[in-house]
Amino acid sequence: MADGILPRQAIEALIRDGAIRADEAILPDQLQPASLDLRLGRKAFRIRASFLPAAGEAIADKVDYVTLHTIDLSEGAVLETGCVYLVPLMEELALPADIAASTNPKSSTGRLDIFTRVIADGVGGFDSAPAGFHGALAVEISPRTFPILVRAGSRLGQIRFRRGDARLDDAALTALHAQSPVAVPQARIQDGLNLTIDLQSRGGPVGYRAKRHTALIDVDRRDALKMADFWDPITSSDGRLILDPDEFYILMSREAVTIPPAYAAEMVPFDPLVGEFRVHYAGFFDPGFGHGRDVSARAVLEVRSREVPFILEHGQVVARLAYERMAELPDVLYGSDLKSNYQAQGLKLSKHFEPLA
């Protein structure tokens, strides 16, 4: 197999070989075209501070020092806003010497403003496991806007596996775009695919702002909540929007984005070159996203301003998308193969809300 992102069938092989194992059997629907969903374990620890383990140190060695209290997730529990939790994951790794891994929140997690990042035994950085890593994983969870109900087996994040350096430089991405367009109406390529913001109302909202002091959200229930109870629609008469600090917004890109079957992509979550705000907490784009005849899919952007109000204008660059090669074609693609939630999406909230009329 060539260098690149491992497809679904290669992840299956890692599971069979014991490179990925779990307390409970890994389920077929955890497998995505280029990633594996990660499941929460049976205990959560309310912690007073985030941390990273030292080299050679297990996560479990530091839990007692930072834990305020322990929560049983067997029957479900509420995680409150403004608190930080650490939850050991069911899955652990024993990777081959040439395979590394990276993690990211699932798209639905990001659209609920749930800040998550994964730590690994003995790894001094978040959301990564080096080639040949052996050890346990845990996820740090901090709901920012909505209180959430989770339980053992809930899936807030996903993991991607890669061999070697698979990222396309600008020349390679330009060549790919010439062969199979990656963005419409145009592709702005500079250190990846640059995405711009769509703030033209066209008679409807340009985005949504999260409400404060709402009911809780069960992360495992879909199509269950009314949008109006949690979100205020935003319109723009002049193509501008002022981001208020500490508010959370759902917006979308002006470009329709395509991820061809032989590629995957990842959003750069924060780029100080384009402004003091963070875009897209959930950054994996699977092969097949937005791909196919008569399929048009925008990138939905989860946006938080930093310390000061910030003005966005229609067409302003707000994010970058890094493309990577797949090690081989996946045997299923994002979209109709998997009845994916966000294929052909426009401005769309997470799957937890009733579809808009």
Q: pLDDT of 207-234, one tens digit each?
A: 999 999 999 999 999 999 999 999 999 9
Task: Grade residue 338 by pLDDT with cuts at 50, 70 and 90.
Answer: low
The SS3 call for residue 176 is helix
Query: What percentage of the chain reaches a pLDDT higher than 90?
Result: 78
What pLDDT is attached to residue 307? 79
Stated pTM of the model: 0.94
- CA–CA gap between residue 103 and residue 87 (Å, rounded): 15
Q: For residue 339, what pLDDT band results from cuts at 50, 70 and 90?
A: low
- What are the pLDDT digits (tens) for 228-277? 999 999 999 899 999 998 899 999 999 999 999 999 999 875 555 555 56
Cis ω before 245 (30° cut-off from 0): no
Phi, psi of 206 (to 5 degrees): -95, -10
| pLDDT digits 0-9 by tens, 103-125 | 999 989 999 999 999 999 999 99
Query: Which residue's entry shows tokens 């952007």?
Result: 301
- Domains annotated for the chain, with CATH where assigned, are 4-163 (2.70.40.10), 170-325 (2.70.40.10)
Give residue 306's pLDDT: 77
- Beta strands of 236-308 (E only): which ranges? 240-243, 248-257, 263-268, 277-279, 284-285, 298-305
Distances (CA, A) of 208 to 163, 205, 211, 246, 311: 38, 7, 9, 14, 16
Left, alpha or beta for 122 (phi > 0: left; psi -120 to 50: alpha)? left
Q: What average pLDDT does this structure show over 193-204?
A: 90
230/123 Cα distance (integer angstroms): 37
Residue with tokens 């496991």: 129
Q: What is the pLDDT of residue 224?
A: 92
